[in-house]
Amino acid sequence: MDLTLIWKTVLIGVVEGLTEFLPVSSTGHIILAEELLNFQGPPGKVFEIVIQLGAILAVCFLYRQKLWNTATGILGRDKRAIRFAAAIVVAFLPAAVVGVAAHSYIKSVLFNPMVVAIALIVGGVAILVIERFAQRPRIKSVDDVDLKTAFLIGLCQCLAMVPGVSRAGATIMGARVFRVDRAAAAEFSFFLAIPTMVGATVYDLYKNWSVLSWDHGVVIALGFAVAFISAAIVVGAFVRFISRHGFAVFAWYRIVVGGAALIFLLVR
């Protein structure tokens, strides 16, 4: 196998795993990384879909006990488990409806590096503003997120359909606006990512089935493994970091990366 393709695959997998659950936009970073690296991955959409699944499974693995307790709690009619599951479902619905309705337009028009660069900058400024004026949290656990708050967070998630906005950024900052504690906002975003990303993956498979190809299986498997490992490393560290330091560092990172990308694209 071409060594250049291997290191590019590893780098793209790392980018996916490190950015999927941070408020910096994994999709935007993948688009920019593929543009900068001139990455020509396996044909079809298989590579992008599989590395995204790697990141999803990392969260499922890390929070397996919570997921198991929720599943068994629902079967045992535990009110706390049912309320948590209902909140996730309610938060997922807006993006599911909008995603199906606008999928083709989003993929064909908005998925380009210029949109990503601008969205990164605007999103960074938004994070700084929200962090500056956020009120004292009233919700300090994912189990305490009520259905109204969950629905409002779900509406915020729809903004992430613009590449560069960040699904994690939209949901976490939306939760902060509605007075959810930083750590609880991040964890709710992680759990919401599971049905959202699985749904998006299944829909992408359905829409692109005719052009899917499993050629370059080793490259695909390598990207999956790297995305899984890097996501597993970053999730726990992220929650601990934002609990102590907040989100400002991610806001400035977005502004710097978006500004650099914008300059690069304009000059080129």
Query: How many other C-beta atoms are found inside a 10 Å radius of the C-beta of residue 61?
Result: 13
For 66-86, give one letter per residue: b (16+ CB within 10 A) or e.
bbeebeebeeeeeeebebbbe
- Tell me the CA distances in angstroms from 167 to 6, 97, 104, 149, 190, one per residue in order: 28, 16, 18, 17, 10
8-state DSSP, 107: I
Q: What is the pLDDT of residue 137?
A: 92
pLDDT at 101: 79
Residue 139's beta-bridge partner residues?
A: 180
Q: pLDDT tens for residues 146-171?
A: 999 999 999 999 998 888 899 999 99
pLDDT single digits (tens) 102-143: 767 776 767 788 999 999 999 999 999 999 998 899 999 999
Task: Give the percent of the chain with pLDDT over 90.
Answer: 55
Assign 45 a pLDDT band (cuts: 50, 70, 90).
low
Nearest to 166 by CA among 63, 57, 31: 31
pLDDT for position 2: 72
Binning pLDDT at 50, 70 and 90, where does residue 1 land? low
Average pLDDT over residues 42-54: 72
* pLDDT tier at 40, thresholds 50, 70, 90: low
Six-digit token pair at 103?
A: 């999928």
Handedness of CA 113, 118, 198, 218 (dihedral sign): positive
Contact between residue 54 and residue 231 where contact means Cβ atoms under 8 Å apart: yes
Task: In whole angstroms, give the CA distance from residue 266 to residue 268.
Answer: 6
Question: Whole-model pTM?
Answer: 0.86
Residue 125 Cα to chain centre, angstroms: 19
For Cα atoms 122, 128, 134, give the angle at the middle one, nearest 5 degrees. 125
Alpha-carbon 112 to chain mean position: 18
pLDDT value of residue 129:
96
Q: Rounded mean pLDDT of the chain?
A: 88
User: DSSP class of residue 110?
Assistant: I
Q: Residue 136 burial (CB < 10 Å; 0-12/13-18/19+)?
A: exposed
